[in-house]
Amino acid sequence: MGSRTRSLSAARACRTRRGTIRTHAVPSLRGCRSLFYAGALALVCACEGARAGGVDGGLAEAGAAADGAVGDAGLAATVLRREPALAAMPVFDPPVPRPERISSTFGPRWKFSISDYDLHPGIDYVDALGTPLTAIGDGTVEGVYPTGSAQFPEGGNVLVVRHPLPAPLWFHGRSVDRIFAVYVHLDAFAVAAGDTVTRGQVVGTMGRSGVTDYVQLHFEIRVQTMCSLQFQTLAPTASCVTGFDPHVHPFLFVGGRDEDAITIAEIPPAPGEALALRYTAGRGDLDLDVIDTDLGTLGFVERRGLDATTLARLDDFDYGWLRLDPRPFTSIDERLVMELHFPTRPRYVEMRDVYGKGVRVELAR
Q: Rule CB under 5 A: which residues touch Zn ion?
A: 124, 218
**Based on C-alpha coordinates, what's the Rg of the chain?**
21
**Nearer Cβ to Zn ion (36/329):** 329
**Nearer Cβ to Zn ion (124/142):** 124
Nearest approach, Cβ of 44 to Zn ion (angstroms)?
34
Distance between CA atoms of 234 and 241, rounded to whole angstroms?
Answer: 10
**Nearer Cβ to Zn ion (34/212):** 212
**Nearer Cβ to Zn ion (33/218):** 218
Q: 71: which DSSP letter?
A: -
Distance between CA atoms of 129 and 74, rounded to whole angstroms?
Answer: 51
Name the residue among 96, 40, 95 with its Cα closest to residue 68. 40
CA distances in angstroms from 208 to 142, 155, 187, 211, listed in the order given: 22, 9, 6, 8
Residue with the shortest CB distance to Zn ion: 218
**Nearer Cβ to Zn ion (124/292):** 124
Nearest approach, Cβ of 135 to Zn ion (angstroms)?
20
- Cβ-based burial of 223 (10 A; exposed 0-12, middle 13-18, buried ≥19): buried
Name the residue among 303, 294, 304 with its Cα closest to residue 349. 294
Nearest approach, Cβ of 62 to Zn ion (angstroms)?
39
**Is 260 within 8 Å of 354 (Cβ atoms)?**
no
